Amino acid sequence: MQQEFSSQILPPLLIEGSDGDLGLESKLTELSLYDFSVETSSTGKEVAEVFEKYPLLPGAILVDDGKYAGMLSRKQLLEFLIRPFGQDLFFHQPLSILYSYARTPILELPDTTPILNAMQLSLRRSPEFLSEPIVVKTSGNEYRLLDMQQLNIASWQIRGIETQVRYERSQAQMIQNDKMASLGRLVDGVAHEILDPVNFIWGNLTHVSNYSRDLIKLIEIYDKNSENIPEDVLYLKQDIEFDFLESDLSQAITSIRTGAERLKKLVSGLQNFCHIDAIYPKPVDLHANLNNIILLIGSRLKGEINIIKKFGHLPPVYCFAGQLNQVFMNILSRAVDILLDEAVRQQFEAEAEKNSHTKPTIEVLTEVISQESNIPGLPDSRWVSICIADNGPAMSPEFQQQIQESFSVEKRADKETSLTISYQIIIARHGGKLNFTSQPDKGTQFEILLPLV
């Protein structure tokens, strides 16, 4: 095949791409590329013969003494040859002359460029250059050609995969939302059933307390005004330890009241946590929501974790309360898990080392902050800041990178974690921000920013 062309021109070589399926992160190196280089001293006639022999070849890489000089596409060569006197002027002339007239902007990309990014860059070109092939530079500083038709097909395949993934995710999210709504209604019903007898107990405790106090007074007056108390009455008072009963009865009623009050708060917190959001956001007291979540996770703390609340003055915030409760629960539960694991680890250390550790602590800080506007003339924006910080061990840089990647659209489709869902709720549903930092000896801090309207 080489003998059909000039000795300076080697036949083109099609380098096949990867056999695997394309994905959102697929790069240009996975596509089929043409390896066809021509010295600028070659003539237009020689290149035209190659193009005629290989009708799918999109163009030629031009080299000058082996060094990359540019690219000449099939379309460019044809346009020059069909001009009046074009064959007389360029057919037998070196390509360097033709290229000096045909020089056009060339899109040159490294082979590590993602296919979707390459497609976006190619569409930014002027309309007359949209069909021009792309020059792909390999890691070995070699230059190859990518046909736009193949890039279009690969891009549509990936877009189809992305659309399918998004559809499946949306369906799964709809099913999950329906399950959560059903669970919320169920829990709300159970909580209501619990709350009814609790309210019954709570409402009657005042009467029981008053009745018992009146009965004790009656007995005391009877004792004072009775000279001959029957022996069986004295025996019964001794048998039931009346003096102890008199002093302990009020304490028992107080304990019942405390337990009923705690149970009432837990049930109310459970109802608020399972709150089913309406279509539109409503003004919410975020401090009440945070207190409910802290109350619900209190059973997991086991006295080993301190929770410090530093609440500022917050106005009612328009939001979806149920979804925000899920975010608070996700972040607080993660902090509790980390600190409990750290507490267990410390139990296996030497006693001297254990004494040097500070007690595991979670700090919840709320405040209203202002941020300067990047657009001149616009006032500063006001945000509600909710910081949840722990003094546990820092996350590894690799894990932090994984969290950051899970927040991106490309990685979000792979696996949805509790933090990913929290990010979507804050960003997509509330137009807010979710930031986190994790440093050795400083622990991890998540900051939720919600806009004030």
Both structure tokens of 425? 């709720």
**Vertex 328, ends 264 and 423: CA angle to 5°?**
150
Type of residue at 439 = Q
Smallest Cα–Cα separation from 425: which of 180, 116, 185? Answer: 180
**pLDDT at 57 exceeding the cut of 80:** yes
Q: pTM for the complete prediction?
A: 0.51
HEC sequence for the chain: CHHHCCCCCCCCEEECCCCCCCCCCCEHHHCCEEECEEECCCEHHHHHHHHHHCCCCCEEEEEECCEEEEEEEHHHHHHHHCCCCHHHHHCCCEHHHHHHHHCCCCCEEECCCEHHHHHHHHHCCCHHHCCCCEEEECCCCCEEEECHHHHHHHHHHHHHHHHHHHHHHHHHHHHHHHHHHHHHHHHHHHHHHHHHHHHHHHHHHHHHHHHHHHHHHHHHHHHHCCCCCCHHHHHHHHHCCHHHHHHHHHHHHHHHHHHHHHHHHHHHHHHHHCCCCCCCCEEECHHHHHHHHHHHCHHHHCCCCEEEEEECCCCCEEECHHHHHHHHHHHHHHHHHHHHHHHHHHHCCCHHHHHHCCCCEEEEEEEEEEECCCCCCCCCEEEEEEEEEECCCCCCHHHHHHHHHHCCHHHHCCCCCHHHHHHHHHHHHCCCEEEEEEECCCEEEEEEEEECC
Residues 133/71, Cβ–Cβ less than 8 Å = yes
Q: What is the pLDDT of residue 384?
A: 92
Candidate from 289-303, 403-417, 429-443 with smallest mean pLDDT? 403-417
Task: Tell me whether strands 433-439 and 443-451 are parallel, antiparallel or unpaired.
Answer: antiparallel
Q: What is the pLDDT of residue 184?
A: 62
pLDDT band of 4, cuts 50, 70, 90: very low
Q: What is the pLDDT of residue 247?
A: 81
362-383 average pLDDT score: 78
Residues 449/384, Cβ–Cβ less than 8 Å = yes
Q: What is the pLDDT of residue 298?
A: 79
Q: Average pLDDT of the chain?
A: 80
Instruction: Tell the residue number behind the tokens 């489709």, with chain if given.
Output: 413
pLDDT band of 308, cuts 50, 70, 90: very high
Q: How far apart are CA 351 and CA 408, in angstroms?
A: 44
pLDDT band of 377, cuts 50, 70, 90: low
Candidate from 65-74, 191-200, 302-311, 386-395 with smallest mean pLDDT? 191-200
150-162 average pLDDT score: 82
Query: Which fold would CATH assign to domain 13-146?
Result: CBS-domain (3.10.580)
Q: What is the pLDDT of residue 117?
A: 86
Residue 305 CB neighbours (<10 A): 21
Quick one: CATH architecture of 278-348+360-452? 2-Layer Sandwich (3.30)
Q: How far apart are CA 327 and CA 415, in angstroms?
A: 17
Q: What is the pLDDT of residue 145?
A: 93
**pLDDT at 7 exceeding the cut of 60:** no
Q: How far apart are CA 88 and CA 97, in angstroms?
A: 13
pLDDT band of 2, cuts 50, 70, 90: very low
Q: What is the pLDDT of residue 222?
A: 81
Strand partners, 311: 366
Smallest Cα–Cα separation from 189: which of 101, 94, 276? Answer: 276
Q: What is the pLDDT of residue 173?
A: 62
Q: How far apart are CA 416 and CA 423, in angstroms?
A: 10
173-192 average pLDDT score: 65
Pairwise pLDDT comparison (332 vs 417), residue with the higher score:
332
> pLDDT per residue over 83-141, tens digit each?
665 566 667 778 787 777 766 788 889 988 888 888 888 888 888 888 889 999 988 88
**pLDDT at 41 exceeding the cut of 70:** yes
12-38 average pLDDT score: 85
429-452 average pLDDT score: 89
pLDDT band of 352, cuts 50, 70, 90: very low
Q: What is the pLDDT of residue 449?
A: 92
Q: What is the pLDDT of residue 6?
A: 47
Indicate if the alpha-carbon torsion angle 323, 329, 335, 338 is positive or negative.
negative
Q: What is the pLDDT of residue 1?
A: 37
**pLDDT at 81 exceeding the cut of 80:** no
**Vertex 151, ends 150 and 157: CA angle to 5°?**
90
Residues 24/410, Cβ–Cβ less than 8 Å = yes
Locate the domains of the chain by residue range: 13-146, 173-276, 278-348+360-452
> pLDDT per residue over 419-438, tens digit each?
888 888 888 888 889 999 99
pLDDT band of 47, cuts 50, 70, 90: confident
Query: Which are the contacts of 449, defined by CB distance < 8 A and separation ≥ 6?
Result: 369, 383, 384, 385, 426, 432, 433, 434, 435
Q: How far apart are CA 119 and CA 116, in angstroms?
A: 5
